[in-house]
Structure 1
Amino acid sequence: MFNIIENPYLHEEISTIVAIFVFVILKSIIAKIVRKYATLNEALEHRTNLIIKYINILLGTLTLLSIIIIWGVRKDQIFLFISSVFAVVGVASFAQWSILSNITAGVVLFFSYPFKIGDVIKIHDKDFPIEAEIEDIKAFYILLKTIDGETITYPNNLLMQKGISVIKKHKEFSDFTD
């Protein structure tokens, strides 16, 4: 007869493998969905890769948290750990809040705003009105080129707070930057 040694952690090991498998599957499915969306909306490859990177970081964090829970870390220990991490991150993020808001605004701009790279826009700011062509939309800021050839970096979070008019779509502006 076989002497099978029972593995006391078999359930946790199988659950961990399933969590990692789900992470890999979701990662590839979401990457395909984002790439398809980007293709339909004519987004640039490096912007698409940046959005996919942000989503992968979020999925990885959720997977890590799931694995911690699977292995039976007690709830009071998890809450103590999370509250400690949030305290440290909160103090550090307070100084970096604008960076986080710019990244979030960059993700929102990728998925939902009516202008694209190459469009000529007007930013309705009473102190600093800008009419320029969008050269690139980065994670933290947008690059604009004015009629005078001046390059302006404009923070993404401010772009979402101001009124924007699309003057010319990217197919119509060929004489703007000549």
Structure 2
Amino acid sequence: MFSFKQYSQEILATIILLIALVFLRMIVAKLIRSFAKSSHLFEHRTNLVIKYIHVFMNILVIISLIVIWGVDTKDIFITISSIATVIGVAMFAQWSILSNITSGMILFFSFPFRIGDTIKIYDKDFPIEAEIEDISAFHVTLRTKEGEKTIFPNNLLLQKGISIMPSKFEDREFFD
């Protein structure tokens, strides 16, 4: 039969861990939002990064709860290896999704270009010059001068050479 006295330490540790998770999630979200605000980043990109970090934190809490409740180490390794095998097989088929999400995170924190910038992508087979309309977790939406809408995967943006073209209305100083 379940006894609170018998599991009081585990229950207390679980409560403390869950409270810590709630506070850490709030603190991390505030830090990321302040970083995004000071860097003039868009809300959509900020929310994606916060969501990814929260998922990572939740995974860490689940692992911590497993340790707190004393699940046998052998059972943990069997479960994790089984899950990793299934995920590995699934991700091998979908590696580009993971690659695009990782590239989206890199683009968020390095922000080499922004929505509204005109960029030139140096691709041997498909060179393109277009304005950035949207940057999402998986791809960037571009609009060419001819009005053609192009969806470009984030991982290719990190692999190709890119020039950011000056804006037509950018203030410039002229010297005699």
TM-score (norm 1): 0.90
The amino acid that maps onto 1:90 is: G
- The 5 Å alignment of 1:141-152 reads 141-152=139-150
2:61 matched residue in structure 1 = 63
- Per the TM alignment, residue 21 of structure 1 is displaced from its structure 2 partner at its CA by 1.3
The amino acid that maps onto 1:39 is: K
Residue 118 of structure 1 is aligned with which of 100, 116, 120? 116
* 1:30 and 2:22 correspond: no
2:151 matched residue in structure 1 = 153
Alpha-carbon distance in structure 1 between the residues aligned to 2:5 and 2:89: 43
1:52 matched residue in structure 2 = 50
Q: 1:123·1:162 contact (CA, 8 Å) conserved in 2?
A: yes
- Structure 1, unaligned runs of 5 or more: 174-178
Q: 1:118·1:169 contact (CA, 8 Å) conserved in 2?
A: no
- Per the TM alignment, residue 51 of structure 1 is displaced from its structure 2 partner at its CA by 1.1
Alpha-carbon distance in structure 1 between the residues aligned to 2:14 and 2:115: 42
1:88 matched residue in structure 2 = 86
1:133 matched residue in structure 2 = 131
SS in 2 for 1:139: coil
The amino acid that maps onto 1:42 is: H
2:15 matched residue in structure 1 = 17
Alpha-carbon distance in structure 2 between the residues aligned to 1:151 and 1:10: 60
| Equivalences, count | 169
- Per the TM alignment, residue 6 of structure 1 is displaced from its structure 2 partner at its CA by 6.8
SS in 2 for 1:116: coil
- Structure 2, unaligned runs of 5 or more: 172-176
The amino acid that maps onto 1:62 is: L
The amino acid that maps onto 2:96 is: S
Are residues 74 and 36 of structure 1, via their aligned partners in 2, closer, same or farther at CA, if it must alter by over 3 Å?
A: same
The amino acid that maps onto 1:32 is: K
The amino acid that maps onto 1:27 is: R
- Per the TM alignment, residue 113 of structure 1 is displaced from its structure 2 partner at its CA by 3.0
1:19-47 Cα offsets, whole Å, 9 max, x none, are: 11111111011101111111112211122
The amino acid that maps onto 1:154 is: F
Runs of 4+ in 1 over 4 A off after TM superposition: none
Question: What is the RMSD computed on CA atoms of the aligned residues?
Answer: 1.8
Q: 1:119·1:170 contact (CA, 8 Å) conserved in 2?
A: no
